[in-house]
A and B are shown apart, each in its own frame.
Chain A
Amino acid sequence: MPELKSIIESFLFVSEEPLTLEKMKLALPETDVKAIKEAIQMLKDEYDHRKGSICLVEVAGGYQLRTRPEYADWIRKIIQPFAQRLSPAALETLAIIAYKQPIMRSDIEHIRGVDAGGIIRMLLDRKLIKILGRKEIPGRPLIYATTRHFLEIFGLRDIKDLPVPKDISDLGKPTVEAHEMTFPNNFIPTPDENT
């Protein structure tokens, strides 16, 4: 039998989505989870030690091979990601949903003080958020939550991995927050059984 870490490496290479420990365990019934975890750690160290362009990251409840950020400019020369900017307003709405989920539209609007309908639709289209269900209150409003795809895009292990928002009482100097980000435009819908 070849080395466990090499087998796992081959799994990671062919996986389109972050590969979960459970899935690896299913493929390797004879091996115990601890050994798999150790092999993953060894692989991770190897990639780090090699200082190549690829690293092994833990994201969205699984493991994934990704390129290091230093190579982003080079990669763009060859694959042209069809990036579309997410406005600061959309980013704020997404942050509210991420931190307060499950959340109703009216609660989002209450925090931002403006209509959120258009942005919610856009975030749904991009598979960054999903409709979780309805709240059993009069009107049965829809409730929203982030998707696993959201975790993948933002490189988060799970929702608990979200950075702790700073409590700001010091407002700092008046600056215009015109932060924009790019996003690949077409997302492949991913099954979102767990976020």
Chain B
Amino acid sequence: MFSDIYKVQLENIFEGPMDLLIYLIRKNEVNIYDIPISLITNRYLEYIEWLKAMNVDIAGDFLVMAATLIHIKSRMLLPVHEDSDEEDPRQEIARPLLEYLRMKSAALQLNERELLGEHTFIRSPAKTSGAGNLQDREIRVDLFELIQAFQRIIDNLSPDIAIDVVAEKLSIKDRMIELIWLLKDRGSLIFQELILSLDGKIEIIITFLAILEMVKRNAASIIQHTDTGNITLYLNESP
């Protein structure tokens, strides 16, 4: 018995009580208009028990359905008056089941259509494909990532550059102005390339601080490429 239920779980993951019920009805090959309520209720409860045994959290929906089934089962046991116009208690479950099946079939029919963006395409590519190339998708970076990139560059510097003493004074402000000119000229700067073009640790640090300052002042933004890891600096539109 339990191995039987076990097999059920392997081939199916039921999203809700309706799915489980449909599965049980199909598996037991019973007529939906004439559900052997006792059999189906028992199977259903066995399944719930099994879920409990597997320590699966049973959603309340499953229990509500269990209660409904038991309620129908008990009503079936009551004698029905000959002249009573009371409907078959099983209608309570058969009707929603049929409705659900109808919608399931409708979903399948929709899925079989020639879908825009999958089977058929229109000229405007923005509608059917992603905005731009996948490779151009970018994520915003935080300062930690920027600092890490900076650290990697410092680590990669050869020692002789590191001991270079820079005599001339370069201020962060001057560097910012230079960077803004560069950005206005080129549109964007790749951080790694920018740093490698510089001479000496002091200049790199000044440049780095200048970038931080610009980002802080909202004059520029930094964006990291998802694939290459390149950090790019952009000038913000001045308000």
Contacts and interface: CB of A to CB of B under 8 A. Distances in A.
State whether these chains interact: yes
Interface string A73-111: 001000111110000110110111011000000000011
Interface string A147-172: 00000111110000011011111011
A179 B108 CA distance: 8
Grouping DSSP codes into helix (H, G, I), strand (E, B) and loop, the B interface class, with mixed when no group exceeds half, is: helix
Given A174-B27, A186-B131, A111 B103 contact: yes
A176 B122 contact: no
A69 B111 CA distance: 14
A187 B99 CA distance: 31
Nearest to B25: A171
Given A110-B96, A153-B115, A163-B106, A171 B127 contact: no
Contacts, number: 165
B121 interface: yes
Contacts of A66: 116, 120-122
Contacts of B33: 169
B65 A113 contact: yes
Interface stretch (B13-21, B46-54, B224-232): B13-21
Contacts of A69: 114, 119-120
Contacts of B15: 89, 112, 114
B120 A68 contact: yes
A19 to B, nearest CB: 11
A195 interface: no
A176 B10 CA distance: 11
Interface in B29-69: 31-33, 59, 61, 65
Contacts of A81: 117-118, 121, 128-130
B181 interface: no
A69 to B, nearest CB: 4
Interface residues of A, number: 58
Nearest to A163: B109
Interface residues of B, number: 54
Contacts of A136: none
Interface string B133-154: 1100000000000000000000
B120 A79 contact: no
A185 B117 CA distance: 9
Contacts of B23: 174
B17 to A, nearest CB: 5
A141 to B, nearest CB: 19
A173 B29 CA distance: 8
A99 B27 CA distance: 28
Nearest to B104: A92
A107 B119 CA distance: 32
Contacts of B99: 111
Contacts of B114: 69, 155
Given A79-B129, A184-B117, 19 more contacts: A64-B122, A66-B121, A67-B122, A80-B134, A81-B129, A81-B130, A82-B129, A91-B110, A96-B106, A111-B100, A112-B18, A114-B18, A114-B59, A115-B61, A152-B116, A153-B116, A153-B117, A155-B120, A183-B118
26 contacts: A16-B124, A66-B116, A69-B119, A72-B119, A79-B121, A81-B129, A81-B130, A95-B107, A96-B106, A111-B96, A111-B99, A111-B103, A112-B16, A114-B17, A115-B61, A155-B116, A163-B106, A165-B102, A169-B31, A174-B23, A176-B11, A181-B111, A183-B115, A183-B118, A184-B118, A184-B129
Interface of B: 11-12, 15-19, 22-23, 25-27, 31-33, 59, 61, 65, 96, 98-111, 113-131, 133-134
